[in-house]
Chains A and B, each alone.
Chain A
Amino acid sequence: EAGVAQSPRYKIIEKRQSVAFWCNPISGHATLYWYQQILGQGPKLLIQFQNNGVVDDSQLPKDRFSAERLKGVDSTLKIQPAKLEDSAVYLCASSLTGQGAGEAFFGQGTRLTVV
């Protein structure tokens, strides 16, 4: 079974530039999560989709971050414009719904450095 795919693995941008991350979840997983993990901290949920609907985006900085999940499969997370404090690893994860919800499988993450 293929895992969660993310790209790119690494990205370095200057502040005020824009950046986009892509995620392809495990086939059949209706729930998709985007987390931000700053070094030394736990993952912070940015947005959670179930199919192509948003379950929670309460911690997504909507003035600069946006995310979409077209057709309930792939997802893209965008930051525009980036700030220095956005430097982090961005993790995408997916899970089944129902009893399997919460048993999430993570991609390798994208390490973003904003300079």
Chain B
Amino acid sequence: QKEVEQNSGPLSVPEGAIASLNCTYSDRGSQSFFWYRQYSGKSPELIMSIYSNGDKEDGRFTAQLNKASQYVSLLIRDSQPSDSATYLCALHTGTASKLTFGTGTRLQVTL
């Protein structure tokens, strides 16, 4: 079982819709969770971090964490063509542990 699992996509949503990106993980000891965005040909950039169960909102982005279900998600409201990118889920099992990435989900926002 992979440490971090994501559907590779592509996930296609129309402009203005809500995009829902999901991630599951295997290590129940995981403590910190992150969403990175990677445009084609560019490096990943951090967009959200979440450390406790529940929702965390930042502008059009909402991260959701459910440690009991080992599930973390990212919602993008009012999707824009500029949101088209690969979204990488990452996690830490502790502050001195390795930072592990999933394979990423490619999002396409269509006009």
Contacts of B43 in A (CB 8 A): 91, 106-109
Interface size in chain B (residues, C-beta < 8 A): 24
**CB contacts between A and B, total, < 8 Å:** 62
A101/B95 in contact, CB under 8 A: yes
Contacts of A55 in B (CB 8 A): 96-98
Question: Which of B14-22, B60-68, B72-80, B100-108 touches A?
Answer: B100-108
Contacts of A45 in B (CB 8 A): 98-101
* Chain A proximity of B1: nearest CB distance (Å): 16
Q: A56-100, CB under 8 A of B: which get 1 and which 0?
A: 101000000000000000000000000000000001000101110
| Chain A interface residues (CB < 8 Å from chain B) | 33, 35, 41-45, 48, 50, 55-56, 58, 91, 95, 97-99, 101-109
Q: List 15 A-B contacts (CB under 8 A).
A: A42-B4, A42-B101, A42-B104, A43-B44, A45-B99, A45-B101, A97-B96, A98-B95, A101-B92, A101-B99, A102-B90, A102-B91, A103-B46, A103-B49, A106-B45
